[in-house]
């Protein structure tokens, strides 16, 4: 009798799971936020209008990769002749011990909201590296899955091991912000995204997500490089 009750309970759990879709926000290292004492006033708005482009050649840039997924963005920038120097701001310099703790937790991207990074702190780190422009680079990943018609066979439990009863979707987004290190002027921003869909996948498909994330990121890099060159080659941004 107990075994029958256990089986019924498992079946009810399976039915509950089949009726639910799953959404996961795979967090980056950090998101941006203003200073804690930041206040929006008429004076601060007027001051922003007074900021002017002030770049000079040769150009030095600092890049902050706010990502857990590795990418070749910085290495690609170093191949461009419009830059004299390109250096990455290490996340450990901004986050300290928290960065190393997070790297040791493989489950972190699935359950935690990313910490917020202060742009002024990044500008200071960029200034210490004698950079003219700060480039904030942030990738985010959104995973969704829902049960398809074959998923109703999961009531048999063992079928979940091999029946493709799931439709899965992964969207990767990237945001770039180009900020003047000296006065905080926002020169430009850039956004792009890519989506991968897999219908009739098994429950093990989630194990492949990390590989798909890396492929997404690398596929976005060429347009990121093209846009970066366009933005930082515009003559109106330079005073020389």
**Which tens digits make up the pLDDT trace of 100-127?**
666 666 544 544 555 667 888 899 999 9
- φ/ψ of 50, rounded to 5, equals -85, -15
DSSP string, 74-127: HHHHTT-TTEEEEEE--HHHHHTHHHHHHHT-TTHHHH-PPPEEEHHHHHHHHH
**Which tens digits make up the pLDDT trace of 22-78?**
555 454 444 555 555 567 777 877 877 888 889 999 999 999 988 766 788 999 999
The pLDDT of residue 177:
92
The pLDDT of residue 32:
58
Half-sphere exposure of 217 (CA within 13 A, CB side): 22
Nearest alpha carbon to residue 177 among 55, 36, 44, 62: 62
**For strand 59-65 and strand 31-33, is the pairing parallel, antiparallel, or unpaired?**
unpaired
Question: How many domains does the chain contain in total?
Answer: 1
Residue 25: which domain range? 2-237
Burial letters 133-142, b for 16+ CB under 10 A, else e = bbbbbbbbbe
Work out the pLDDT band at 168, boundaries 50, 70, 90.
confident
The percentage of residues in the chain with a pLDDT greater than 70, rounded to a whole number, is 68
Select the more confidently predicted residue: 88 or 97: 88
How many CB atoms lie under 10 A from the CB of residue 73?
25
Does the predicted model carry a pTM greater than 0.75?
A: yes
């Amino acid at each position: 009798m107990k075994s029958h009750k256990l089986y019924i309970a498992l079946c009810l759990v399976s039915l509950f799971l089949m009726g639910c879709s799953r959404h996961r926000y795979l967090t980056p290292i950090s998101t941006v936020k203003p200073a804690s004492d930041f206040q929006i006033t008429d004076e601060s708005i007027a001051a922003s209008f007074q900021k002017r482009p002030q770049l000079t050649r040769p150009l030095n840039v600092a890049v902050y990769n706010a990502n857990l997924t590795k990418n070749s963005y910085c290495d690609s920038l170093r191949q461009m002749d419009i830059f004299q120097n390109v250096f990455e701001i290490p996340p450990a310099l901004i986050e300290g011990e928290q960065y190393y703790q997070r790297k040791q937790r493989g489950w972190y991207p699935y359950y935690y909201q990313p910490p917020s990074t202060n742009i002024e702190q990044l500008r200071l780190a960029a200034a210490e590296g004698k950079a003219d422009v700060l480039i904030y680079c942030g990738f985010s990943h959104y995973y969704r899955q829902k049960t398809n018609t074959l998923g109703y066979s999961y009531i048999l439990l063992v079928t979940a091991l091999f029946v493709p009863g799931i439709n899965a979707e992964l969207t990767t987004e990237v945001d770039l912000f180009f900020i003047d290190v000296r006065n905080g002027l926002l020169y430009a921003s850039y956004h792009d995204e890519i989506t991968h869909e897999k219908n009739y996948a098994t429950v093990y498909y989630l194990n492949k997500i990390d590989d798909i994330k890396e492929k997404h990121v690398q596929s976005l890099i060429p347009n990121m490089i093209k846009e970066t060159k366009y933005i930082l080659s515009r003559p109106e941004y330079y005073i020389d």
